[in-house]
Structure 1
């Protein structure tokens, strides 16, 4: 086919003469296919992806638990040491204050012209902490009441002896109990509890508990009043009141006094024990105080030095 023929072809003339760009109108995808594809297209996430991180376990390891326990024990030990240092400082201040002010013993309160001088220094407001002053004074009043009861017991036994000479043994024992129990009770259970409250001493607390428990037993025996034991208790008073009413009445009053001593001693023992539990005292601390007191005692040191010197001298002479 020649060029003239192609130029005369009607189809060719139609395509060349139209101003429409048929290549731009060509769509390789059908309409329904593009719609379905565009409807199900999911846009990519704009959040950057991060690598997975393994979270650590919250349970402490055995080493951490041991370290925490050691830290707790160390904290408790530091607290105890701080308290001991504070008590020692307070005691030194009291001693230095006494040395500076020249405090003298004021108990028992004896006249100045009396040949016997006071043996102890006692001041509740200065030496005893405020929370312990009440119970300490009550124990002091109990000791005074006990001494009065022992004196009345002596008078009752004397009256009993005037009625029946066979009970002279009760009068003699009542004198012995007054001479023995009055000073010994002051030294053995009142002064220890006073020093325990003054310096928070575990050793004095334990000494007081042991001796005062024995004192409670003695109060009960005295209140019972076994005949020929030197006590005007209930049994002795009931045995006398049938023959002599005035003497029996006096002995019954003394028996009431002994009973009051027994009841008050039990109450005060419980009160002191409740205060003792709040002070942080312990048996181990009492042992430590006792050992330190023995080792720092000058008499013990002198005796130990003398014993060691004698033993060394004997060994040297034996070798020669």
Structure 2
């Protein structure tokens, strides 16, 4: 009878395709259908409040104007003023150094320091003629050059003495070379003290007192000394110098004497080279001291007018002229 209880007009379940379990599972699920799916869902405000997205950093930085490197007029004026102040301080320092040296010299003169050059024994009948102290009288920047000039003078004296011995050895070989030996003795006696007084002491005084006149006097005399060194190194025969010409002339006849004269010729050549080198060094320092020819003229005129010898001679000449005029009128 159960077969009669069913609706005869209902569709059989086996004929309905939507009664398939797989279809009914999809239709009864909570998944939204395709036509209602929104690919851009509205985000919840809670997520926006809890999470913030940082701003993206661009690899390109904005252009920034670089400040100008040119100094301003105020900075230029300040630099110029600082330079002037530095130069003024340097001049004041030099002036203070000159005043200090002058006071030391005056104090030395007042205390009566004895001369110490040449260094002679106390019981020697001849006393020292000059006072010389590089550390006391010469500024530190000039001491090296001044000492080199002193060593050059001593080296020249030793060379002149060896030249005398070489000419004596030459004179022993032949009496015809007696003139060379006599002149070598004269050069030793003449050039040793004259070179000390005429060019070494002036350069020593120039460095000590910054005297323009002493510098000019030194340059004139020392240039003549350089010429003499060159002549002595050349060795002109019959001039009393064991130079290169005389040495090569003698070495053919007497090798021993020729060798001695070649050694002396080398020493004369070294004197000439060193003198030229030192002349350039002194001239470069002279240009930095601010000396000039006008200052040399002023120092010379002031030195002559303030000299006691000149004043005495001028007074004597004036009195003699006055007496002559008075006697002539009578």
Shorter-chain TM-score: which interval?
Answer: 0.7 to 0.9
> Is the Cα contact below 8 Å between 2:229 and 2:272 reproduced in 1?
yes
Q: Compared with structure 1, are the counterparts of its residues 282 and 216 closer, same or farther at alpha carbon in structure 2 (3 Å cutoff)?
A: same
Name the residue aligned to 2:19. none
1:247-270 per-residue CA deviation (whole Å, 9 max, x = no partner) reads 000000000000000000000000
> Is the Cα contact below 8 Å between 1:150 and 1:174 reproduced in 2?
yes
**Over aligned residues, Cα RMSD in angstroms?**
2.2
Of 165, 171, 187, which aligns to 1:161? 171
Q: Note the C-alpha offset of 1:164.
A: 1.3
1:105-138 per-residue CA deviation (whole Å, 9 max, x = no partner) reads 0000001111000000000000000000000000
Q: Note the C-alpha offset of 1:198.
A: 0.2
Q: Note the C-alpha offset of 1:100.
A: 4.5
Mapped pair 1:318 → 2:328: yes
Of 179, 199, 208, which aligns to 2:209? 199
> Is the Cα contact below 8 Å between 2:101 and 2:137 reproduced in 1?
no
Mapped pair 1:123 → 2:143: no
> Is the Cα contact below 8 Å between 1:188 and 1:208 reproduced in 2?
yes
Q: Map 1:68-147; keep pairs closer than 5 Å.
A: 89-90=99-100, 92-147=102-157
Q: Note the C-alpha offset of 1:82.
A: 7.7
Name the residue aligned to 2:196. 186
Of 251, 258, 274, which aligns to 1:248? 258
Q: Note the C-alpha offset of 1:139.
A: 0.4
Q: TM-score, normalised by structure 2?
A: 0.71
Determine the C-alpha separation between the residues in 2 that align with 1:165 and 1:286: 50
Could you tell me which runs of 5 or more consecutive residues in structure 2 were left unpaired when the two chains were aligned.
Answer: 1-87
Q: Compared with structure 1, are the counterparts of its residues 165 and 220 closer, same or farther at alpha carbon in structure 2 (3 Å cutoff)?
A: same
Determine the C-alpha separation between the residues in 2 that align with 1:210 and 1:298: 26
Name the residue aligned to 2:181. 171
Name the residue aligned to 2:273. 263
> Is the Cα contact below 8 Å between 1:87 and 1:199 reproduced in 2?
no
Name the residue aligned to 2:160. 150
1:255-288 per-residue CA deviation (whole Å, 9 max, x = no partner) reads 0000000000000000000000000000000000
Determine the C-alpha separation between the residues in 1 that align with 2:270 and 2:243: 12
Q: TM-score, normalised by structure 1?
A: 0.73
Query: Which of these two proteins has the greater Rg computed from alpha carbons?
Result: 2
Determine the C-alpha separation between the residues in 1 that align with 2:210 and 2:228: 27
Of 277, 282, 285, which aligns to 1:272? 282
Could you tell me which runs of 5 or more consecutive residues in structure 1 were left unpaired when the two chains were aligned.
Answer: 1-77
SS state at 1:132 partner? helix
